[in-house]
A and B are shown apart, each in its own frame.
Chain A
Amino acid sequence: MRTLRDRLQAGSDKPLHLLKGRVHEVEGRGRTGFALYHAARLAGPIFWIVLAHDHDRPMPGSLPEGVAERLHFIEARDETNLLWTVEEALRARPVSLVISAPEKPISLTAGRRLQLAAEAGGTTGLMLIQEGRGSNAAETRWKCDPLPSPLDSTRHRWILNKNKRGTIGIYDVSWNGTTVAVHLVPQAGERHQPEGPPR
């Protein structure tokens, strides 16, 4: 028998899932963490495409379990090659997730092409974009930031800013980055002081 707690937990991270076969965007300082959460959640090969002159690199030893083995890390010389590689990877069926960090804004044409490629391959795409450099073609746009909290050092605020087929929302989660399990932290119930004894 499923308890109420089970049902709450089972459905708890549903709103965080990305729609398969579409390209999504994420901005903010915590975008890499958000990408890794989805990398851990989805099974299958992951392609991570960056520009060669971008120095921020994932550190394989500390990624969520099982991600580093499935990761293909690609350095593209320039923006054109990066977009070409993303499109090729999205079009390939066995790939589960394509993460990419472009520098320039993605034009509407490029965004649409990526969507078509993702649809053809049934692959999820996630673009780590700079603030305000998204494309109108994106299925959802997230803004992710690590959240300082006096109690918890694994708190993140993932804000769904744009959603083509659903509601938007603000999610505070607690995720320590080892497994796929995240805890949605209710904002209203957040206490900054331990609860006092009942009167």
Chain B
Amino acid sequence: MLSIWFPRLASDISLRARPVEGPFALTLRASNAENLYCLNSTASAVGLHPGMPLADARAVCPVLSTRPADLIREGRALEGLRRWTSRYGPHAAKDGTDGLIVDVSGVPHLFGGEVELLADLEARLERAGVSSKSAIAETRGGAWALARRGGGVIPEGGLLSRLGPMPVSALRIEAPVAEGLTRLGLHKIVDLTAVPRAPLARRFGAELLRRLDQALGTQAEPVAAEADAPHFGVRMTLPEPIGLTADVMGVLDRLLVRLCDKLASAQMGARAVRLELQRVDRSAAVVDVGLARAMRDPVRISALFLKGVDEVDSGFGIDGLRLTATVTEPLAPEQIGNAQARAEDELSHLISRIGNRLGFDAVQRFLPASSRIPERSFLTVPAAYAAPEPFPPKRRPRRPITLFPAEALAQVSGSPPARFSWRRMAFTTLRAHGPERITPEWWFDNPAWRSGVRDYWRIETNEGPRLWLFRTPQSGSRDWYAQGVFL
């Protein structure tokens, strides 16, 4: 078992992104007070320790620079490290919030031995700027204890002699239990093996003996490595930087084939794809593409990238590309050649193309809604995210075919108006139907309907247009407004 402990994971991650000279700490807000959460080595050397209030720390060390802690980022970093450590063994799992455990049975000879494996691991982590302590032992408990007390290798059969002198708190037990054992004079692990087990279990619970057995190898403790979530990402690093759009598209096409194969093997389709272009000077450009429905067709996705890639400034050249399907949906294999499926496919591809240029919100579909308020009698939703729904058959009263925000009429005479002008055109009334009274929905605050109930009239004019006019009797105003045009 290989156990790795990251004593300063949070601050290392933070400093990796933006280095700081001198003492540095991350602070965490707990019950209305800022406390130190994680320190770098300089800060620890000054005498600060985690859990200390920030105000006290500042008094001790006025030059301390701090940043707020980001627990989510820390978790993500640990997950990344877990994925990386799978290079040392097939089963790698998180061990608490600051450690990893890897089952390296049968692996060390590939690295030339256990000591060489540890040296390789620590050298790589150090180069990455993450401080770590690691240990290899026969048991998980033993490796855990040793990693937190200096690290190293326990050779086969040397568990008891190496763990024996360690304090009982190295057994992964809770602090009160460890304290209780110390009070009884059982300071070291070797002391526990000498006393009868039954009274120990009666006094401190079965947990203590389980931990002891696990550390000494009497009880097995496998690494429960969680299954990796499928990761739909591929990348390519180039020996020489490239800068032409055609070259980038060529690399992209190769990556897309690999990505789509990955998606196909998991029966998934991409809804959004992101291309990261890493420039030589370590800056990066990102091109995002959305898809109107789940898809894994490399040729079509490639066509959507063309405009975005064309706009990217390649700087001194691009030497790394990373392609990820950021949003995925299940997509079962489909029979090809079906005419209807092909038409649907083409339609969603058209919506993708338009959506990537105008934005997916701009491509809309109408859904029915039950409201008497004309503006709220339908919903406008992005077409890429909603299936069409049939509208109920039309009923009386008649509604206009064109609707617009209320426009005030000018030069109105009569009620209902006998003559009026709208959009700088003069009209005289031929026929008037009405009124139809519509009451605002009091449970929604709609600014346009604050003037109260509306009396709607259908006015046929001698000039041709048939208009939908209304007035607001409750507001006391005598103004007339137009809101729609009938067929």
Contact = CB atoms under 8 A, between A and B. Distances in A.
A191 to B, nearest CB: 18
Given A59-B377, A61-B394, A69-B390, A85 B354 contact: yes
Interface string A36-53: 100000000100000010
A81 interface: yes
Contacts of B357: 81, 84-85
A164 B394 CA distance: 38
Given A60-B366, A60-B368, 7 more contacts: A62-B400, A69-B391, A72-B363, A74-B364, A85-B357, A94-B344, A148-B462
A157 to B, nearest CB: 8
Nearest to B346: A94
Contacts of A59: 374, 377-378, 399-403, 484
Contacts of A126: none
A55 B404 contact: yes
Contact of A94 (B343, B380, B403, B461): B343
B149 interface: no
A176 B487 contact: yes
Q: What range describes how many residues of B lie at the interface?
A: 35 or more
Contacts of B351: 72
B393 interface: yes
B294 interface: no
Contacts of A85: 354, 357-358
Interface stretch (A9-17, A26-34, A132-140): A26-34
Contacts of B374: 59
B401 A68 contact: no
Given A59-B374, A75-B358, A65 B394 contact: yes
Secondary structure type dominating chain B contacts: mixed
A76 interface: yes
Interface in A85-99: 85, 88-89, 92-95
Contact of B354 (A68, A88, A94, A147): A88
B460 A73 contact: no
B327 interface: no
A93 B464 contact: no
Contacts of A62: 394, 398-401
B365 A72 contact: yes
Nearest to B369: A61
Given A59-B378, A85-B354, A148-B460, A36 B366 contact: no
B399 A58 contact: no
Contacts of B466: 146, 153
Contacts of B266: none
B401 to A, nearest CB: 6
Given A57-B403, A59-B374, A60-B391, A146 B398 contact: no
B35 to A, nearest CB: 50
A70 B484 CA distance: 22
B358 A178 contact: no
Interface of A: 29-30, 32-33, 36, 45, 52, 55-63, 65, 68-77, 81, 84-85, 88-89, 92-95, 145-148, 150, 153-154, 175-178
Nearest to A178: B394
Given A60-B391, A154-B487, A145 B464 contact: yes
B453 to A, nearest CB: 20
A148 B486 CA distance: 13
Nearest to A33: B487
A72 to B, nearest CB: 5
Nearest to B458: A153
B388 A69 contact: yes
9 contacts: A36-B487, A58-B401, A62-B394, A68-B391, A74-B362, A88-B353, A147-B464, A175-B487, A178-B394
B346 A92 contact: yes
A77 B466 CA distance: 30
B350 interface: yes
B430 interface: yes
7 closest Cβ pairs, A-B complex:
A62-B399, A60-B366, A94-B343, A177-B487, A59-B403, A146-B464, A92-B350
A70 B391 CA distance: 11
B159 interface: no
Contacts of A146: 464-466, 487
B366 A73 contact: yes
Interface string B447-468: 0000000000000111111100
B463 A148 contact: yes
Given A68-B366, A146-B464, A95 B403 contact: no
Given A29-B465, A73-B365, A61 B431 contact: no
Contacts of B405: 55
Nearest to B398: A62
Contacts of B464: 29-30, 145-148
Given A61-B394, A81-B357, A94-B343, A71 B431 contact: no
A72 B381 CA distance: 10
Contact of A60 (B347, B378, B431): B378
B358 A76 contact: yes
Nearest to B461: A148
B389 interface: yes
A65 B430 CA distance: 28
Given A92-B350, A148-B462, A61 B391 contact: yes
Contact of A148 (B358, B430, B485): B430
Contacts of A36: 401, 487
B402 A32 contact: yes
A149 to B, nearest CB: 9
Contacts of A175: 487
A89 B465 CA distance: 31
A73 B364 contact: yes
Nearest to B364: A73
Contacts of B393: 65
A57 B383 contact: no
Given A36-B487, A88-B354, A146-B465, A71 B365 contact: yes
A76 B403 contact: no
A92 B345 CA distance: 11
